[in-house]
Chains A and B, each alone.
Chain A
């Protein structure tokens, strides 16, 4: 086993890891504030990718308007639209469930996942449609010495890392972020200080969904856009979140990246275990540190 292979698979693992990180970050932010696991997070990711795809290839075909929304506008537009849908879901449905057992939130978002997946599966091939809108400026290949790596994938890695750490900085080190955390710690007291907690909750949910949508747009040029792309990913991300421990922003980011790497390296050592290694790690964490690597037992 040569060093080149290890480095190559590690880099590809990191490539997957940034998507784990972005998704588990969104889940952790939402969970931190609402105590709800958003099963629809994977569907939001899928939706982001589809908005980019439809914007690029289907507006003319479907609506007869000669228009094409490129990758860069999609990178802004898709998270906004997905975030807006998230806000709509929170305002009209989730909000009514807060008083009940939290599993109802999970069940509701599971139902929403089925609806979204089914809708797209009606109009698009379940095995994926290629996204042709990858920007020309990123279409090249970089020679890293140990391998040729598509420029776009490098961009996706760097961009995602920037987004992840910016989110972390915002929540942990800005005034607005500290209010948000206060809302998590003690909603009643925060409300008493004149902050609008329900609005904060709504916006946070929208933000978390938007992050998933953003990840979806980034993923579109790499993987084909498919109705099931989120479903396959979200369960792994659940395991990532259990391993990292909920409620910790940095924990979610780091465990996402690390587990992507672990998965990549497993492909070098023992390929058949690559799809299960994260779940086995989860079992180990549960046995020895049930609250997760970065979490505190509540």
Chain B
């Protein structure tokens, strides 16, 4: 019930946003919202804290940007190329990282992501500190000019909805049930005969792929792939978004991305105070607000009934 209301709200807000807000900013938020949803699939539904998701987000952005700029791929194909790269990367990282659990898992993913960051810094095709500049937005399906702000916006919104749908389907499938069983009690899932590591790897790859999709889309929006998107601070930011909105809730990450994104944007003129404020929110969330906004709402909602 609540999910339906929220979905309707999200749809309306998403469809009308470009008429009352700066479209590029909303597109940025949408990319982060998708990124946070993908991340939440892993932390919220399998209980795995990846501290290296920026690698997929940034990696997807670079490969998509390069494919479009250097190979002349059309935008959608370019984005899918970037997404495909994140998928392959996700298999590799996932294979290594799920060998360890809990905190080790977080540290391992963080360290692996640093490899991607330094590659983005040093490989010739990425442009190093300059970033990959001047990615053309091009024509969607050969006839929709994405240089128009509105066309670009609805393209991004569609991608977001598709990504969101995939995650929603995953969570509410038998596969998703098993994932949640693993989160609740890994040993029991194991004793029930589930190949736990295989499930974890699957979830990791889906999460990584969609994170890559979000990054690839962002590269087209800003016509730019940059080191920031592959930096560990971005990994931290997506954790915060998920936490603020509500871990393990369907809409939490979306709301979290909006909140954190809007906040950072509003406060950007205050320089480093943004970091202090985000850090404080982090601490508050961890200490007393672990359910997040949607989590709290759901609790209130259930109490009423």
Residues of A within 8 A of B (CB): 35-37, 93, 96-97, 100-104, 106-108, 110-119, 121-122, 227, 235-236, 238-239, 241-242, 246, 272, 275-276, 279-280, 282-283, 286-287, 290
**Are B103 and A122 in touch, CB under 8 angstroms?**
no
How many chain B residues touch A (Cβ–Cβ < 8 Å)? Answer: 42
The CA-CA distance from A9 to B77 in the complex, in Å, is: 46
Which of B47, B115, B278 is most buried by chain A, counting CB atoms within 10 A of its CB?
A: B115
SS of A interface (majority)? helix
> In the complex the two chains form, is B96's CB within 8 Å of A111's CB?
no
Residues of B within 8 A of A122 (CB): 271-273, 276
What is the 8 Å Cβ interface bit string for chain B, positions 183-220, against chain A (1 contact, 0 not)?
00000000000000000000000000000000000000
CA distance A282 to B115 in the complex (A): 11
Residues facing A in B233-291 (CB within 8 A) are 236, 239, 243, 271-283, 285-287, 290
Q: Is the CB of A96 within 8 A of B287?
A: yes
Q: Assuming A115-B276, A115-B279, what are 14 further A-B pairs, CB within 8 angstroms?
A: A93-B283, A100-B290, A102-B102, A106-B49, A108-B287, A111-B279, A114-B278, A115-B280, A115-B283, A122-B272, A235-B114, A275-B121, A276-B118, A286-B96
* Chain A residues with CB under 8 A of B114: 235-236, 239, 276, 279
User: In the complex, are the beta carbons of B112 and A279 less than 8 A apart?
Assistant: yes
Q: How far is the CA of A111 from the CA of B283 in the complex (A)?
A: 5
Given the complex, which residues of A lie within 8 Å of B99, measured CB to CB?
A: 286, 290
Of A36, A106, A114, A241, the contact of B275 (CB 8 Å cutoff): A114
Instruction: Check B45 for interface membership: any CB of A closer than 8 A.
Output: no
Partner of A113, one of B49, B274, B279, B281: B279
A97 contacts across to B, CB distance below 8 A: 286-287
Q: Is the CB–CB distance between B272 and A111 below 8 Å?
A: no
CB of A288 to closest CB in B, whole Å: 11
A115-B275 contact, Cβ under 8 Å, with A107-B282, A279-B111:
yes
B104 located at the interface, meaning its Cβ lies under 8 Å from any Cβ of chain A in the complex: yes
Q: Please name all residues of chain B whose beta carbon is closer than 8 Å to the beta carbon of A100 when the two chains form the complex.
A: 290
A112 contacts B111, C-beta separation under 8 Å: no
The reply to whether A121 and B272 form a contact with Cβ atoms under 8 Å apart is yes
Q: Which residues of B contact A115 (CB under 8 A)?
A: 275-276, 279-280, 283
Q: Tell whether, in the assembled complex, residue A110 and residue B236 are in contact, meaning their CB atoms are under 8 Å apart.
A: yes
Q: B179: CB under 8 A from chain A?
A: no
- With A283-B112, A286-B96, A290-B99 known as contacts, the answer to whether A112 contacts B271 (CB < 8 A) is no
Cβ of B106 < 8 Å from any Cβ of A?
yes
Q: How far is the CB of A244 from chain B (nearest CB, A)?
A: 12
Chain B residue with Cβ nearest A282: B111
12 cross-chain CB contacts under 8 A:
A102-B103, A110-B239, A115-B279, A116-B279, A117-B279, A119-B272, A119-B276, A235-B232, A238-B111, A241-B107, A272-B122, A276-B115
CB-CB nearest in chain A for B280: A115
Shortest CB distance A238–B (Å) = 5
User: Measured between alpha carbons, how far is A107 from B238 in the docked complex, in Å?
Assistant: 12
State A111–B281 Cα separation when bound (angstroms): 8
Asked whether A107 lies within 8 Å of B286 as measured between CB atoms, the reply is yes
**B79 interfacial by beta-carbon distance below 8 Å:** no
- Please state if A235 and B110 are interface contacts (CB–CB under 8 Å): yes
B100 at the A/B interface (Cβ < 8 Å)?
yes
Does B29 lie at the interface of the complex (its beta carbon under 8 Å from any beta carbon of A)? Answer: no
Closest to B276 in A: A118
With A111-B279, A114-B279 given, is the CB distance from A106 to B103 under 8 Å?
A: yes
Q: How far is the CB of A103 from chain B (nearest CB, A)?
A: 4
Residue of A with least CB distance to B235: A110
* Contact between chains at B279 and A235 (CB < 8 Å): no
- Asked if A238 meets B122 with Cβ closer than 8 Å, knowing A104-B290, A115-B275, the reply is no
Q: Is the CB of B96 within 8 A of A108?
A: no
Are A107 and B239 touching (Cβ within 8 A)? yes
Q: Collect the chain A residues with CB atoms within 8 Å of residue B47's CB.
A: 101
CB nearest to B122 among chain A residues: A272
Residue contact A117 to B275, C-beta cutoff 8 Å: yes
B286 A104 Cβ-Cβ under 8 A: yes
Q: Are B276 and A114 in contact (CB under 8 A)?
A: yes
Contact B275 A121 (CB under 8 A): yes
Q: A109 to nearest B CB, angstroms?
A: 9
Q: Is B38 an interface residue (CB 8 A)?
A: no
Contact of A238 among B102, B107, B285, B286 (CB under 8 A): B107
Residue of A nearest to B92 (CB): A283
In the A-B complex, the 5 residue pairs with the smallest Cβ-Cβ separation, listed nearest first, are A111-B282, A118-B275, A114-B279, A115-B279, A118-B276
A111 to B51, CA, bound (A): 13
The complex places the Cα of A280 from the Cα of B112 at a distance, in Å, of: 8
